Chain A
Amino acid sequence: MNVNHISVHVIGAAVFALGMAHGADVTDATPAQNAALHKTIETCGTCHGVNGRSVSPTFPNLAAQTAPYIEAQLHAFKDQTRADPDAQAYMWGMASQLSETSISGLAGYFSQQPAPAGRGGNNTLIAQGKQIFVEGVPGQQIPACATCHGAQAQGNGPFPRLAGQHAPYLLRQLLVIQSVLRTAPVMHGVIKDLTKPQMEAVVAYLESI
């Protein structure tokens, strides 16, 4: 049997198997809504990881994020009120057709996924960031981040979980919120005087826990 014959058989068998797989889906007993949600999770997972833990810091981890925050952000993408560059490039399209059922289903799913593990970095920077997170910067009237985001940065309802989040993602959010490309009324006041080195310290700390 030469290579031509082998490849023909491989392709033939695979095409047949795919046809069977497709057929199995059609007669699958899974409720249609669950199947649709599963498919949506797969789509989100392309960037965010099916388990909510993403590889690229362009895309935030969603695992263990608070459900109310995920819901609020999906609504903000859908109605285009969150308008920072990446939101427009990626999420306006992705969220545009999501139903209320899908939004709550996605929020429920990702909030239940195991949290990403912290990643160590520059210890000096992390210590500086921890101080800002826990105590704020009194001299600049910057309150402690932990006040809203929780002592372990675990999030609290509409206030997002920050622990274990990619530092470059968090830094980008701080910058676009400060420049009002992303609307976040509470945060605008809180971080208006936060300097970039302070941001870099606090996001290094958050990524590490």
Chain B
Amino acid sequence: MARSHYMRGYIPIWVCLGFSVALANPSWAVPSFARQTGMACAACHTVFPELTPFGREFKLNGYVLDNIKQITGIDTSARQTLAINSLPPISMNVEISYTRTGEPLPDSAIKGALAKDGDLLFPDQVSFFYAGKIADGLGAFIQLTYDGAGDHFGLDNTDIRYAHHLSFGGANGNNHELILGVTLNNNPTVQDVWNTTPAWGYPFASSGTAPTQITSAKVDSGAGGFGQTVGGLGVYAWLDDHFYVEITNYDSSIPGGAHPLDSTQANVINGLAPYWRVAYEQRWDRNSLEVGAFGLDASAHPGAGTPLQGPTDKYKDAAADVQYQFIGENHFFTFLGNYIHESQTLDASILDGFAANDKNRLNTVKAAGEYYYKRLIGGTVSYFSTRGGSDALLYAPASVAGSANGSPNTNGYILEFDYLPWLNTKLQTQYVGYQKFNGGTTNYDGNGRSASNNNTLYLLVWIAF
């Protein structure tokens, strides 16, 4: 029912949004880099924000490749003390969206009443970027975002990195090429260069106001994740355009609220949370294939009214990912897949009455196949699934957001159609269909709501300039 209901309203809504608006959440296309390098978006992106092999190299090299006039300085020993772009690599991202769920959501204040059917966000997000070179070898991707639904302006995805290139002896005159780098970032996997990891994974933009599943793995940027509430320092190596290895340590850095962090904050890391990543990429002709693994070990205090001492909740995430890209003259195809397994030992949550089981697990699968013709039109078909053990307290009943049977199990599909009249303008139509939501298909929340009631039509205009 939800689907046909959406489709009836779809064309007029889209026409109304038409060319007047831009897109959603999170936002990443960065014309700053085009300004700095003098290269078109197509050099680094198949279709933004997905990176090409060259885009990955650009990022791994520290965002420093520049082709504009530099302001430089040296000291008396000829050490370069300054090298900045004569024009700052800044850019802007505007996203305007319309979200409609299968059935309207309950009114947030009046029991039995319903919220407005459909949500126009102008803007969904507006972002400002500094993205590019800071000094020789040092570059940054810094995003400041105004969030329309939250009426909030703050630091979004940020990755500051230094990279150093080394060549050393190999056989037959073919030197080994090694990039060693340091990253300082605020979201686990925001520093990654493949689009299989959560921060830059599919869906690239989705509704921020439609219902979302009750939980996701800590390394995932979704519910309960660490996106933009941590700071991490890491090192990475990239050898011969094949082998990638990284380790980054994170600690909580929660914007606003009590500082130093105290019991009024939630999800506070105890000690440091190490993130690790290994990957192998093979390129041939127009193809590239990446196979990798990543993980996060986090020990966290639930906070939210409980002290930041004593037992902690421990999360061990281990994930495998695979990415295949074909970049042709006219045809572009990508497959993105990942599997995340999370083991939870919830000593603190048990003590504080937030969880019923000491040990829980979560298994997440995401797979997406994309096709674009001439970077002009294309789309994506995606499947997603989260499965885990039931826990009546952790996944408690609540209207829309809760689970009647204490299960986090959610699965569904995403169908997306995109039209890009220009490389920096994407008109996106996305439909998310749920087969199961928070453990059920009908009355999943204990308040009579069905999984399909959360099916979401999301129209988005995404302009980056």
Interface residues of A (CB under 8 A from B): 3-4, 6-8, 10-11, 14-15, 17-18, 21-22, 25-27, 32, 39, 42-43, 45-47, 50-51, 55-58, 88-90, 92-97, 114, 168, 172
Is A51 within 8 A of B174, CB to CB? Answer: yes
Residues of A within 8 A of B234 (CB): 11
Contact A11 to B235, CB < 8 A, known contacts A3-B297, A47-B54: yes
Q: How far apart sit A37 and B65, CA to CA, in the bound complex (Å)? A: 14
Is B39 within 8 A of A10, CB to CB? Answer: no
Residues of A within 8 A of B233 (CB): 11, 15
Is A97 within 8 A of B67, CB to CB? Answer: yes
Is A22 within 8 A of B67, CB to CB? Answer: no
Which residue on A lies nearest to B162, using beta carbons? A18
Is B180 within 8 A of A32, CB to CB? Answer: no
Cβ of B166 within 8 Å of any chain A Cβ, yes or no, is: yes
Is B173 within 8 A of A114, CB to CB? Answer: yes
Give chain B nearest CB distance to A170 CB in angstroms.
Answer: 13
Is A97 within 8 A of B286, CB to CB? Answer: no
Interface residues of B (CB under 8 A from A): 37-40, 42-43, 53-54, 57-58, 61, 65-69, 77-80, 137, 162, 164-167, 173-175, 177, 180-182, 233-235, 241, 247-249, 271-272, 274, 276, 283-286, 297, 327, 329
Residues of A within 8 A of B327 (CB): 56, 58
Question: Which 3 residue pairs of A and B lie closest in terms of their CB atoms, listed nearest first?
Answer: A93-B38, A14-B235, A7-B274
Q: Which of B167, B181, B272 contacts A50 (CB 8 A)?
A: B167
Is A18 within 8 A of B182, CB to CB? Answer: yes
Q: How far apart sit A55 and B173, CA to CA, in the bound complex (Å)? A: 17
A11-B234, A56-B53, A90-B39 given. 18 additional CB < 8 A pairs?
Answer: A4-B297, A7-B247, A11-B233, A11-B248, A15-B233, A15-B235, A18-B164, A18-B181, A21-B180, A46-B65, A55-B283, A55-B285, A56-B285, A92-B39, A93-B38, A93-B39, A93-B67, A97-B67
Is A57 within 8 A of B285, CB to CB? Answer: yes
Residues of B within 8 A of A88 (CB): 40
Is A3 within 8 A of B274, CB to CB? Answer: yes
Which residue on B lies nearest to A13, using beta carbons? B235
Residues of B within 8 A of A27 (CB): 77
Which residue on B lies nearest to A7, using beta carbons? B274
17 contacts between A and B (CB under 8 A): A3-B274, A11-B234, A11-B235, A14-B180, A18-B182, A21-B166, A22-B164, A45-B177, A46-B54, A46-B65, A58-B327, A88-B40, A89-B39, A89-B43, A92-B39, A94-B67, A97-B68
Which residue on B lies nearest to A41, using beta carbons? B167
Interface of B is mostly: mixed
Give chain B nearest CB distance to A149 CB in angstroms.
Answer: 24
Give chain B nearest CB distance to A31 CB in angstroms.
Answer: 11
Is A15 within 8 A of B39, CB to CB? Answer: no
Is B40 within 8 A of A89, CB to CB? Answer: yes
Is B272 within 8 A of A7, CB to CB? Answer: yes
Is B271 within 8 A of A4, CB to CB? Answer: yes
Q: How far apart sit A109 and B81, CA to CA, in the bound complex (Å)? A: 29
Q: How far apart sit A17 and B236, CA to CA, in the bound complex (Å)? A: 12
Q: How far apart sit A11 and B78, CA to CA, in the bound complex (Å)? A: 30
Which residue on B lies nearest to A92, using beta carbons? B38
Residues of A within 8 A of B54 (CB): 46-47
Residues of B within 8 A of A114 (CB): 173
Give chain A nearest CB distance to B395 CB in angstroms.
Answer: 28
Q: How far apart sit A205 and B42, CA to CA, in the bound complex (Å)? A: 30
Which residue on A lies nearest to B167, using beta carbons? A50
Give chain A nearest CB distance to B84 CB in angstroms.
Answer: 14
Q: How far apart sit A27 and B78, CA to CA, in the bound complex (Å)? A: 9
Which residue on B lies nearest to A38, using beta carbons? B167
Residues of B within 8 A of A6 (CB): 274
Give chain B nearest CB distance to A5 CB in angstroms.
Answer: 9
Residues of B within 8 A of A39 (CB): 165
Q: Which of B68, B69, B137 contacts A22 (CB 8 A)?
A: B137
Residues of A within 8 A of B167 (CB): 42, 50
Give chain A nearest CB distance to B245 CB in angstroms.
Answer: 10
Which residue on A lies nearest to B79, using beta carbons? A26
Residues of B within 8 A of A92 (CB): 38-39
Q: How far apart sit A22 and B164, CA to CA, in the bound complex (Å)? A: 7
Q: Which of A7, A57, A90, A95 contacts B286 (CB 8 A)?
A: A57
Q: Which of A3, A21, A42, A172 contacts B329 (CB 8 A)?
A: A172
Q: How far apart sit A90 and B65, CA to CA, in the bound complex (Å)? A: 12
Contact A21 to B164, CB < 8 A, known contacts A8-B249, A11-B247, A14-B182: yes
Is B67 within 8 A of A96, CB to CB? Answer: yes
Which residue on A lies nearest to B249, using beta carbons? A7
Q: Which of A32, A42, A56, A94 contacts B165 (CB 8 A)?
A: A42
Is B37 within 8 A of A93, CB to CB? Answer: yes
Is A94 within 8 A of B177, CB to CB? Answer: no
Q: How far apart sit A43 and B65, CA to CA, in the bound complex (Å)? A: 8
Q: How far apart sit A21 and B166, CA to CA, in the bound complex (Å)? A: 9
Q: How far apart sit A97 and B70, CA to CA, in the bound complex (Å)? A: 10
Q: How far apart sit A93 and B68, CA to CA, in the bound complex (Å)? A: 8
Is B165 within 8 A of A8, CB to CB? Answer: no
Give chain A nearest CB distance to B392 CB in angstroms.
Answer: 32
Residues of A within 8 A of B43 (CB): 89-90
Is B247 within 8 A of A10, CB to CB? Answer: yes
Residues of A within 8 A of B61 (CB): 46
Give chain A nearest CB distance to B333 CB in angstroms.
Answer: 15
Is B249 within 8 A of A11, CB to CB? Answer: yes
Q: How far apart sit A46 and B238, CA to CA, in the bound complex (Å)? A: 13
Residues of B within 8 A of A10 (CB): 235, 247
Residues of A within 8 A of B276 (CB): 7
